[in-house]
A and B are shown apart, each in its own frame.
Chain A
Amino acid sequence: MTSEKKRQYGSVWTALGLLVLVGVVLLIVSHDFLAMRVDPPIYPGAGVTRVVRLSSYSQAVVNTGADTDIYFLEGNEPGGTVLLLGGTHPNEPAASLAAITVIENAVVKKGRFIVIPRANHSAFTYSEPLEGYPQTYTIETSGGSRIFRYGSRATNPIDQWPDPVIYMNTSGQSLAGAEVRNLNRSYPGNEHGYLTERLAYAIVSLIKQEKVDMAIDLHEASPEYPVINTIVAHERALDIAAEASMLLEFEGMDIGVERSPKNLRGLSHREWGDATDTLALLMEAANPAQGRLRGRTDQALIVTGKDKYYVRAAEHGFLYVPFSEAGHPVEERVGRHLQAFSTLVDVFNEHHQDRSVIATGIPHLSQLLHDGLGAYLAPPKS
């Protein structure tokens, strides 16, 4: 009894002390978590003619964490409209970086680009610490370091809670409950539904209101995922995707084409094409930071794409992309997206000469591999 009492040591004073300690920890971690809600700056290039908010197309996302910036790059001559979407899944950084590179470099002569670099803005505001992901990663530019957020696949639970046990999306497909916060399972969306469905609805509203001719949703996937280094095309966009793929193969870029399955509902390449007149496409690049076979997960893995365990997995034939010691650096992944984007626009122009979109300044894969991504990102401004 006496020895038990001796081991207790707790009192009101220790409770108060611990409470102060809790307060200190809360201050430190809150600073970190709240910093995730501040958007790293994007520096619009000479080609950007205006920036609007997604909520201007639908009240469904007004005053929510899902509202996001939309960049217009408009030419002097009338032509078609191409939508480029990055950041549907903020843990797929090459998608958002490719969209930002277009915003900061492209100049449109005819027609227009509409670019959304942070499609699921809410998902950029938190990371998945249990996956070991860092909150940020850095790209070196000629004038200093640019810091970007490494977010999550799904909408922040702070913005949308709770998840149902089973999620039946707006197209009637049953999915795991957590998919309720996945933008690319929520199309064509619902004006009065979950926040992510409202976000999907707003993006579809934008496509309809702006009469987007071709819409491209950029993604990344793990090297062991079969749909990779691929263009997934709605059946109305299949000709363009196939022709672009052949041209890219001639240029030395290995890229496949997949037809959007009709029974895979809620995804951009299916629902954009079904719900609107746009030619819907989705592209995937290989990101080892997303894979289950990866080793140490840090900024270096995100940026350099090097991982010794993936090299071994490739040797055993477990992967759907080649994987050497050189890895798949962010320059390569962004370069693939940008070259494929340019080629898709070129092929679209051949098929729709009355609605063509002509632009300059979009770097190709070889340029990015030679110069580095930082050469095509504006230096940070104070």
Chain B
Amino acid sequence: MTWIYQGITLILILFVGWNLFREKRLAEQMVAAIVLIPLILRVLMIR
């Protein structure tokens, strides 16, 4: 179950990361960067 959870989180990270580079508005890039933080913490099982 945890592997599925981590897999879903990883996919989300890839989408948000892709959006970070594709987005031209700085404010939206900042939002994407902030969203990445908890996702990365969870995929690494830190928090």
Contacts and interface: CB of A to CB of B under 8 A. Distances in A.
Contacts of A250: none
Interface in A1-57: 7-12, 14-15, 18-19, 21-22, 25-26, 29-30, 33-34
Interface in A150-186: 158, 161-162
Contact of B33 (A7, A12, A22, A34): A22
Nearest to B33: A18
Contacts of A8: 24-26
Mostly helix, strand, loop or mixed at chain A's interface? helix
A14 B47 contact: no
Interface string B21-32: 101111011101
A126 interface: yes
B47 A19 contact: no
Contact of A30 (B20, B28, B46): B46
Contacts, number: 56
A30 B46 CA distance: 7
A15 B46 CA distance: 24
A30 B47 CA distance: 8
Contacts of B29: 10, 14-15, 18
Contact of A162 (B5, B25, B26): B5
Interface residues of A, number: 22
Contacts of A12: 21
Contact of B46 (A14, A18, A34, A162): A34
Q: Report which residue of B32, B33, B41, B45 has the largest number of chain A beta carbons within 10 angstroms of its beta carbon.
A: B33
Interface residues of B, number: 22
Nearest to B20: A15
A26 B2 contact: no
A22 B36 contact: yes
Contacts of B45: 158
Nearest to B34: A22
A26 B38 CA distance: 9
A247 to B, nearest CB: 47
Contacts of B47: 29-30, 33, 126, 158
B12 interface: no
Contacts of B25: 7-10
Contacts of B33: 18-19, 21-22
B37 interface: yes
B21 A15 contact: yes
Contacts of A22: 33, 36-37, 40
Nearest to A21: B33
Interface of A: 7-12, 14-15, 18-19, 21-22, 25-26, 29-30, 33-34, 126, 158, 161-162
Given A11-B24, A18-B20, A29-B41, 12 more contacts: A8-B24, A14-B26, A14-B29, A15-B21, A15-B23, A15-B29, A18-B29, A18-B30, A19-B33, A21-B33, A33-B41, A33-B46
Query: Which A-B residue pairs are the 10 nearest by beta carbons?
Result: A18-B33, A9-B26, A10-B26, A10-B24, A15-B21, A8-B24, A33-B47, A10-B29, A15-B20, A30-B46
